[in-house]
Amino acid sequence: MEDNLDIEIDPEIWTQYLLAVMGDKERSAELVQKIVEMSGVPPEKVKLIIAATTKYLANIARSN
């Protein structure tokens, strides 16, 4: 798999998406489980990573 470092994302859209998904217990559980299966990272750490990512993206969106 080739790394493509030229990817640009819209931090506001991703922040809204993550907030919506993590605010819904069923969708949140599905997302966390999928990431656990794909990465092998424990669910508690996945939730921390999602929370940190959401906060980071929200800060970027606010600064734009």
Compute the C-alpha angle 35/27/58, nearest 5°. Answer: 75
Would you say residue 3 lies in a domain?
no
Would you say residue 20 lies in a domain?
yes
Whole-number Å distance between alpha carbons of 36 and 31: 9
Would you say residue 21 lies in a domain?
yes
Would you say residue 57 lies in a domain?
yes
Structural domain of 27: 11-63
Task: Give the pLDDT confidence of 6-61 residue by residue, as tens digits.
Answer: 888 999 999 999 999 999 999 999 999 999 999 999 999 999 999 999 999 999 99
pTM for this predicted structure: 0.82
Would you say residue 34 lies in a domain?
yes
Write the DSSP assignment of 11-52 as a string of letters: HHHHHHHHHHHHTSHHHHHHHHHHHHHHH---HHHHHHHHHH
For the chain, what is the domain count? 1
